[in-house]
Structure 1
């Protein structure tokens, strides 16, 4: 459904729209998909989000909430340049249910072809290669998408993205429960999905081929020009008739025909399709050079529009002055840590969801610029109107269950190239938290990361101020930062925002919103 939510034209909010959902401010309406309304939102650090709400009738279906959460967890296993990250989702029992993902200011393939016609041949070849990479990542994680269609492909600037895998399954299961019908876009379902409702990796390959026919011709392989056909007719054609490939680039016809075989066992795998495409000249990484000029202009407008909305959004209320230096010593001694080294354009991550690149001029600066710890952001605590309440220092405090010392270790990045990303060994984190009200210093966080070959310490230590108190997570701000090894030539900037999630009575989960560092721990355990 993020064809519209990911990059369609935005609409101003009206009186029927809430001011916030799940603690995230709503900035504009992006559209409506199969799950519900989709809004433009932002994180506390200013990162744009697509926030999708779940229609009430879906949420009432028995078992939907469990399936919804399960599929989101499954989708988090897929990490690739061709997927958007799930940033947050509604806690169990909260209504309305919602899902927040990275916002991509780009049109869907369906939207683009509808308004501008088919893509040029070279762009189709590049699109094919990139989507094979996307499916390879999904299948490599042991999952199947099951809803590959033009509206689930975003024509991003760096690469096309395949969205909403997993989420579609939760919605599909609910609709099967309610009606016993077949769910999805009929023109892009595989024969086994159209006839029996089940689909796996071969079904994704079939749907991919149908999407590429659409990209090249403007219609699906089982539709006819200027024809308005019913879903039952499309489903019948998919199961019983051969695809129409008129207008598809000649080099692609044999490959797409094999992908559109009725028998799933006769279709090639996504990996095999990608290998064949490479021989035909379709390679990953070529998309940015082959984006049509009109699409370049469209992307620039969308990006500027989204940035203006996010930048104009009201900022969080001012934080209270720091007032607890006496409890922890001088602020210059630090109370926390930034993360381990990751540099240049290499993407690093704390654990799960999305990695952001950071840049610098020299190796030490590169290491330090991205030595940043971001932890999972799970909001809560709206008032009755659905809006985030103003901070209240008398009640907004760190719960006693959070206080103490938490430790964890990650593998580091021993196989990095040592140029764009430092080669590091074991990456240890110690987080110490004490009771604190919002706006006060709350603790310290120390990372210890050694460089392979030199044993140089690259970690940072930071003082953390409690920024926000939420139902299952806390937002911290680093007010000071310095190298854990004072003699190391590492720059540790202050001002980073960190979010930590309580995942169990003795565990904290680490997400990766922001400029993450590769090789970091994914969990901290109470010591």
Structure 2
């Protein structure tokens, strides 16, 4: 920690600043305390970055995504202002050194029991991150904090926003974020990333914790050579305990499709009931925590006071996100030689707003590596604390699209199952452009009132027929995320054939399944019109579970369906989207339509909604809305289920369209 200087503000929002924790390419990190004595880490973004509109846009998106991340292996975002002239965020402060500091400076390689517990904790953290739809992109020993009750993963939210800088004037090529010794092969090559990239980095982190060295060496032989080893050569795993060797080898597979998922690692890694750290490390952590409680600035400068209204703290039930700060240098470490801390950014008259932020500060010894895969020449330029590098990329040619145009778009059909040769089209294929090895297919299935979303990479395109081959799919996320354990972790490889305006899908596990173009993806389609409008029950006595229930359908897009419920005295507002539209006929020979049913995805509590009461469930209901021919949309019949449990809450409720 370093004392405040004259240019530092005395307060940011409701937090009194008492020290500087660190600085880096992204900005400054302060130690702060709230009015009730809670210790927090407060980070402010560099003014230069705050002026970049694309950075701000991605920054705000990452804040929204980070709100979905929670669990015991991350820390909570307490306050944030991403709209201010200089954005800032306050997070729960985790008092502990980084894994890098413990291994490299304090203790050395960790014992087997500690590395096993580390694997379990990091896998659970990545499960939360991936389920929220995020990819860490920079998992390394410096981004793992060591605490008495387990590891904490930090610094995963800012990577996407930092890519904006890498794609800006500094370099116009595709770019990724990472630290060379702990990057995945696809990061080195600048390819599109999936959660499997984090699994490779996890393998490198576990090897480092067990041996005290990176499995691919250091930059002593040159940055170019290090990245070549990551992409092409086998790791050096000498010294990794036998009980962990198989797991680490699986994580470090060059082919992302062959790596386990975070859930797989969490199930494989065993966590002992004994203390997870050696006694000497635990003693250091205890002393550091005690020193932190008594810490007070050695001197009080005459800092700037920011006279802005304090943003309200989030309620205890609000979603949490991964910490957005770097660990300070622990009190028991010898101070490292670091550059002078930069001056504080101007925060005068910065507007405030309450938000959440997954960004992460940079500590005194950290530097973020922005890798641009454009040529085989390594060019390192230090610009504003960022290293912009053009590493070896396996040839330097940017992959062009090879997917035939007839495959593009969104398609619906039955979900992949050995017995799913007929039935409701409760699965979606979204096919996009890409080259070999790129993720070009997202496969979603609505089953048991939850959605499982998988990604698939392109492996080949036929030269003789309109067909493409997709590698086995990996689970990207579950909606709601509590249903992740109910989703299959992988989907079989697919053969897709474009015929007569449809897509025929074959997996080898089921008969050929036919997917048709999703009518909801056509902006000119009027099929959803009969379902539209604001609706409420004709007979309130039909409502059994809820005290009140109504809905408003404005369109097929994201958040196109609003739901308001009242349950146990709490009014809650949810949003969702149409997942699929199913037409049913009187019999297979008849051309007479019997009914059309709109299936929704699981709903979620509306973000930043002041009309919902505290204590509402985060995961809202799933709806099946049925329209009968001949009624011209005057009413629909609605079945309501909870998610992810799948229990029926309301059945066959007639909902009339409001006339007001």
TM-score (norm 1): 0.57
Contact 1:72 1:86 (8 Å CA) reproduced: no
Q: CA deviation at 1:139?
A: 1.8
| 1:204 lines up with 2:201 in the alignment | no
Q: CA separation in 2, counterparts of 1:229 and 1:151? A: 22
Q: Report what 2:488 is aligned to.
A: none
With over 3 angstroms needed to count, the CA separation of the structure-2 counterparts of 1:44 and 1:194, relative to structure 1, is: same
Partner SS state of residue 289, structure 1: coil
2:299 matches 1:308? no
**1:136–1:297 distance in 2 versus 1, CA, 3 Å:** same
- The alignment yields a C-alpha RMSD, in angstroms, of 3.7
CA offset digits 1:330-383 (Å, max 9, x no partner) = xxxxxxxxxxxxxxxxxx94232389xxxxxxxxxxxxxxxxxxxxxxxxxx99
Structure holding more helix per residue: 1
Q: 1:184: which partner in 2? A: 178
Residue of 270, 281, 286 corresponding to 1:295: 281
1:279-313 per-residue CA deviation (whole Å, 9 max, x = no partner) reads xxx22x74x71222222122223222322237999
Following TM superposition, where does structure 1 have runs of at least 4 consecutive aligned residues deviating by more than 6 angstroms? Answer: 310-314, 385-388, 425-428
Q: What is residue 271 of structure 1 aligned with on the other side?
A: 263
Deviation at 1:240, TM superposition (A): 1.3
Counterpart in the other structure of 1:351: 318
SS at match of 2:213: coil
Q: Tell me, in whole angstroms, the C-alpha distance in 2 between the residues paired with 1:150 and 1:78.
A: 20
Give the C-alpha shift of residue 449 in structure 1.
10
Whether contact under 8 Å (1:176, 1:182) holds in the other structure is: no
Change (3 A) 1:427 1:254: farther
SS at 2:217's partner residue?
coil
Q: Quote the offset at 1:27 in angstroms.
A: 1.0
How far 1:256 moved relative to its partner?
A: 0.9
Matches within 5 A, 1:107-256: 107-116=97-106, 117-177=108-168, 178-179=170-171, 180=173, 181-223=175-217, 228-256=220-248
User: For the Cα contact (< 8 Å) 2:3–2:20, is it kept in 1?
Assistant: yes
**Separation in structure 2 between the aligned mates of residue 271 and residue 74 of structure 1, nearest angstrom:** 20
CA contact (8 A) 1:85 1:353 kept: yes
Alignment of 1:415-430 (within 5 A): none
More off after superposition, 99-108 vs 176-185: 176-185
Residue 229 of structure 1 deviates from its aligned partner by: 4.2
Matched, 1:43 2:34: yes
Contact 1:13/1:29 (8 A) holds in 2: yes
Asked if residue 105 in structure 1 is aligned to residue 95 in structure 2, the reply is yes
Cα separation, 2, equivalents of 1:352 and 1:426: 24
Partners of 2:216 and 2:230 within 8 A in 1: yes
Aligned: 1:59 with 2:50: yes
Question: How far has the Cα of 1:39 moved from its partner?
Answer: 0.8
Return the offset for 1:141. 2.3
CA deviation string 1:119-169 (max 9, x = no partner)? 122101111111111111222223222221111111122221111222222
The aligned residue for residue 533 of structure 2 is: none
Matches within 5 A, 1:54-93: 54-92=45-83
Distance 1:114 1:168, change over 3 A: same
Distance in 1 separating the partners of 2:134 and 2:125: 12
The residue that corresponds to 1:434 in the other structure is: none
Report the CA distance shift for 1:50/1:264 in structure 2 as closer, same or farther (over 3 A): same
Distance 2:250 2:619 in 1: 44
- Displacement of 1:202: 0.5
Structure 1 or 2, whichever has the larger Rg, is 2
Greater shift, 203-212 or 178-187, is seen at 178-187
Distance 1:215 1:508, change over 3 A: farther
Matches within 5 A, 1:334-483: 349-353=316-320, 384=348
User: How many residue pairs are counted as aligned between the two chains?
Assistant: 335
8 Å CA contact 2:78, 2:90 repeated in 1: yes
Gaps of 5+ in 1: 1-9, 315-347, 356-381, 389-424, 429-447, 451-456, 460-501, 512-516, 523-527
User: Do the aligned partners of 1:23 and 1:387 also contact (CA within 8 Å) in 2?
Assistant: no
Deviation per residue, 1:244-272 (Å, 9 max, x gap): 11111122112211211111111111111
Q: Gaps (5+ residues) in structure 2?
A: 301-314, 323-345, 353-544, 549-565, 571-606, 621-660
Normalized per residue, the structure richer in strand is: 2
Cα 1:107–1:158 shift into 2, 3 Å: same
- 8 Å Cα contact 2:188-2:227 kept in structure 1: yes
Deviates more, 1:25-34 or 1:80-89: 25-34
> Are the equivalent residues in 1 in contact too, given 2:68–2:321 (CA < 8 A)?
no
- 2:449 is matched with which residue? none
Counterpart Cα distance in 1 of 2:95 and 2:40: 10
